Structure 1
């Protein structure tokens, strides 16, 4: 199985990755400095998705009920992770594919989103290795962070997941799971606050853990680009 170098939770780095693979330049990755409702209101709009970096294997009391198998919710684009340390790029794909962001079909990201519509999540995950421009963009971006790129052989203790709004529901998409996590009703207006509630539950369940980072894909630049942990 192919192995990539983990990405840093850095909005500038992830913005460059997004633009390299086909996301229009008016969309950027921004830090979420706090989950306080008043500060959330200051995040540039629109917000297409949230991406959460969290320690692998932490308690998740917010996860209740069964996962929704992808075939039960075919209108949500979901792919499984078949490449080690690719969770950052997969979270970006999940975020963009389930948003209103218009990605050119001929771009590396567009070839995944538009070219795998009839595939299963497993087949989509396997196709990631075949898109050379996408894997090369991930490789280049993994070397551009503020800290030294970790040894991919060592694996990563952190994991990226995406939160998206789709047809009136708030979904969590994690390529390491077998299906979608449905966090309940939501809307384009309430998506950010609804996703923040779920993120807060995760943080509150792990008060001694400070390796969290929350990012938003927004329609305009906002805030300084630095690594933030909301605890």
Structure 2
């Protein structure tokens, strides 16, 4: 079964990850690397660019023990493979039963065999293909991307074992970029992404950078629960001090802390509401993306024709305005 093209959209990627069985993560589109500090924890970055054949061969790491790397062996799978390159290199993530078993199954495979295992995984392939737009009118022959169309490609950036790697399924192996720690890898990845952009900047400006981050709904909900509990404790302390007419410095400090935490609660409630609205919009758009509207359009045209309205519409459209 072939793999179909899917859109590079954070809502698509987030739902795809959820349907594979991974919990606690989502994908965010980035406009600036400065946003990364606001999105902690960040598990990896996905960079989309217009692909062109490279004349310079890049040096792959010969000492990348513990790095999950898979060769891309089929077309149209690079988006999902870039996501998997991050998920399968972050042991702290809850991958779910299916993906955990998959990682254990392919642990001793070489990169090509891992790529074949991904392409033959019913769960991964079916989930990937479920996000393609319906194409009821299929051309006789697929356009050759290298000759007439535009081919886009995804690569991942992820820290593993104290080193920062670029994982590109079209390469022979992981590309080690530099040493890093879990606390500074986001600072170190910026120059490498900038260098990658400069390589194509002379004739291409279309790039997209996304981050695989902790699920913001879970994070904001957890913070809100903690802040609300803290607010309630402080409110009780303020009420107790007022009842005892204890207008001392400690009571004033407690009251100031209460005001501060009330502002925090309000801010978290707003952030959570915005995030909930964003996730609803993602779900709605994914439903529209998957739906085939062609039967509706055919029936609408047939109904208009039966009422004698279709030709009137065609004639009206043909007249100059």
- Residue by residue over 1:1-47, the C-alpha shift from the partner in whole angstroms, topping out at 9 and shown as x without a partner, is x64222221100000111111210x2100111113x4x4322x1100
Question: In proportion to residue count, which structure has more helix?
Answer: 2
Q: Which ranges in structure 2 are unaligned for 5 or more consecutive residues?
A: 217-270, 282-321
- Give the drift of 1:115: 1.4
The equivalent residue for 1:176 is: 170
Match of 2:120 in 1: 130
Match of 1:229 in 2: none
Relative contact order higher in (CA < 8 Å, ≥ 6 apart): 1
2:94 corresponding residue in structure 1: 102
Instruction: Pick one of 136, 142, 145 that aligns with 1:153.
Output: 142
Aligned: 1:189 with 2:189: no
Q: Does structure 2 conserve the Cα–Cα contact (< 8 Å) formed by 1:77 and 1:98?
A: yes
After the TM superposition, which segments of 4 or more aligned residues of structure 1 sit over 2 Å from their partners?
39-42, 58-61, 109-112, 150-156, 204-208, 220-226
SS in 1 for 2:200: coil
Corresponding residue pairs, total: 211
Relative to structure 1, the CA distance from residue 81 to residue 6 in structure 2 (aligned partners, 3 Å threshold; closer, same or farther) is same
CA distance, structure 1, for counterparts of residue 36 and residue 53 of structure 2: 25
SS in 2 for 1:209: coil
- Partners in 2 of 1:93 and 1:114 — Cα distance? 14
Aligned partner (choices 71, 82, 88) of residue 80 of structure 1: 71
CA contact 1:59–1:206 (8 Å) conserved in 2: no
Cα-Cα RMSD: 2.8
Counterparts in 2 of 1:218 and 1:181: CA distance versus 1, 3 Å? same
C-alpha separation in 2, matches of 1:40 and 1:217: 10
Residue in structure 2 matched with residue 46 of structure 1 by the alignment: 41
CA displacement, residues 161-204 of structure 1 (integer Å, 9 cap, x when unaligned): 11000111100011111011110111111122222221111223
Secondary structure at the counterpart of residue 19 of structure 2: helix
* Unpaired stretches in structure 1, ≥5 consecutive residues: 145-149, 227-231
Larger radius of gyration: 2
The reply on whether 1:167 has 2:156 as its aligned counterpart is: no
Greater alpha carbon shift after TM alignment, 5-14 vs 203-212: 203-212
Residues 36 and 42 in structure 2, CA contact (< 8 A), matched pair in contact too: no
Cα deviation, residue 112, structure 1: 2.7
- Structure-1 separation of matches of 2:160 and 2:27: 20
Aligned equivalents of 1:153, 1:18: Cα separation in 2: 28
**Compared with structure 1, are the counterparts of its residues 93 and 210 closer, same or farther at alpha carbon in structure 2 (3 Å cutoff)?**
same
In 1, the alpha carbon distance for the partners of 2:208 and 2:12 equals 14
TM-score (norm 2): 0.59
- Pick from 204, 221, 234 the counterpart of residue 209 of structure 1: 204
